[in-house]
Amino acid sequence: MSNPNHSDFSNQPVTVEIQCVTPPTDAQLDGLRQFFEEKYRTNQIIFSVREDPRVVGGFRIFVGDENYDWSTLGRVRQLRKSFQSLGKVYDPDKIVSLLREDIEAFSLHVGHQQVGFVRSVGDGIAMVSGLREVEYGEILLFDCGVKGMVQDIRADGLNGVVLFGGDDEIVEGSRVVRTRRTAGIPISTRILGRIIDPMGMPVDDGGDYGAKEYFPIERPAPGIMERKPVTKPLETGILAIDSMFPIGKGQRELIIGDRQTGKTTIATDTILNQKGKNVVCVYVAIGQKASSIAKVVSTLKKHDAMDYTVVVSSPASDSASLQYIAPYAGCAVAEYFMYHGRDVLIIYDDLSKHAVAYRTLSLLLERSPGREAYPGDVFYLHSRLLERSAQLSDALGGGSMSALPIVETQAGDVSAYIPTNIISITDGQIFLESDLFFAGQRPAINVGLSVSRVGGSAQTSVMKKSVGSIRLDLAQYREMQAFSQFGGDLDAGTARQLRYGAGLMQLLRQDKAQPMELHRQVITLLCAQAGFFTDIPVREIRQKQQELLEYLEQTHRSLCLNIDHHHNYSEQLKSEILNAAKSFFAAPQV
């Protein structure tokens, strides 16, 4: 029965699954309805009753990832806890009588409940026996309340379980029961703007976010017929990327480079550029320092980007098991919005540390090590994650999930095991070079090693036509620059080409947290190729670029708006931009 006295109840339905032998009566259903309406603050409770002879008596109830064990064994456990906490208050004879009933009830129902026992525990891994029908990836519940996930099923009946909590209260002989559920995350639309851990629990000061759905963290990737081609651009606001290595909605573009070369900065700038574009962003921090995560969150809050962003935080202080499931939890959040027709951008920062966490678990589970001590299924570890990014078909709502995984290299070695694995899975990579970074080129993108396999199909018409031959020009510049270092006289054409290339490199520099609007990118590209910046001293180029953009925004505002909203290229548009630029450079400079 609904309670009309609560005006703050939502109309979002909540599904309550009841497992039992004997279906509940109408009176029992009314009582359950009232309980769950108060618990979840909703007046729409949907019951799903399923008969299960293993329950024996009472009910087992599931709401999302919450498990209410009101079965016979569940009541016995509660009784035992009462004995432990209140034993001194009760009459000793009464305690003996109740304990005898407790033992008899437990002995009677152990077989039906598939209760397992811990054989050994240590380093976040528990070896459990007695669960004959347990499934890979299933969540188990230990007596102390800690959850674990089955990651190893052996022929001798022992199952390896990774723990999602401390193992201080788990000892040899501790009981563990099946939940018959795979790992999942509670979710609702109110999760936007929140910081959560890999289990879906808030770690900020915002309190509960009213989760009313349960989304599995592992699920099959969309099939071929469930997808459609990547054609819509996902603008990063970074000129070097949007012009030469465009990213489309539904694409997976790897960001790769050595430590401290600006990988996270590119990811966060891309999030900032989604403001006002109806794109949900998910940032997954895996094995990062807590201070680094706090810095990213601070940047997002400063630019009002947390309003459309979810941060899944699994810092370096977390156990390897939590770091292992973190990207899958973030992917589940992204999928929730994608399957509701939204466009989503997800950042995995970074998958190198994710692979290390999985290697740690695998070695503790005594799996055979392979190359670089990684287990044989480390490729599947990331392929089943990244393949879930897609541009869904119209029949499934047309939502999309674009992934920007980050991988850290050692001394620029892209041929290492994990980098080569992920390069083969993704649709391109943006390679950040240390030498460029230390030379002041930010972002330090290596044009020769970076690529987007989606290419121009994910670019707007105005951007595609404005880019021209810039990528080729930059490649030629770097080659000529290498030869010019040997000295000797340069002819006028070569000298001009070097000045032109140096100007391009300056124009591609961009301060962090300052994404460029589309019209600014188009104007910069067209004016650069027209040679307006070639004869300007290198140190003054960025200042002239800024002055030119401000001039056009003031005197040709309608032209800028036309580029941003219509995205269409025409020779007339190009002519208007170049004529305006000529007027600017011809005017006396103050």
Please classify residue 251 by burial: count the beta carbons closer than 10 Å to its beta carbon, then call 0-12 exposed, 13-18 middle and 19+ buried.
buried
Q: How does DSSP classify residue 246?
A: -
Helix (H, G, I), strand (E, B) or coil at 13: coil
By the 10 Å C-beta count (0-12 exposed, 13-18 middle, 19+ buried), 489 is classed as exposed
Report the alpha-carbon distance of residue 149 to residue 178 in Å, rounded. 10
Q: N- to C-terminal Cα distance for the chain?
A: 77
Decide if 422 contacts 379 (C-beta within 8 A). no
Residue 141 burial (CB count, 10 A): 17
Alpha-carbon gap, residue 450 to 529, rounded angstroms: 21
Cβ pair 485, 259 in contact under 8 A: no
Instruction: Measure CA 345 to chain center.
Output: 8
CA distances to 233, 507, 524 from 516, in Å = 15, 12, 10
Query: Catalytic pick from 219, 453, 478, 542?
Result: 453
Single out the residue of 240, 277, 227, 244 nearest to residue 456, CA to CA.
244
Angle between helices 470-484 and 518-529 (to 10 degrees): 50
Contact by Cβ (8 Å): 394, 228: yes
State the CB neighbour count (10 A cutoff) for residue 447.
23
Paired with 321 in beta bridges are none
- 60 assigned to active site: no
Are 402 and 252 in contact by the 8 Å Cβ rule? The answer is: yes
- Asked whether 509 and 542 are in contact (CB, 8 A), the reply is yes
Give residues with Cβ within 8 angstroms of 515, minimum separation 6: 236, 237, 238, 269, 270, 272, 273
Q: Tell me the catalytic residues.
A: 453
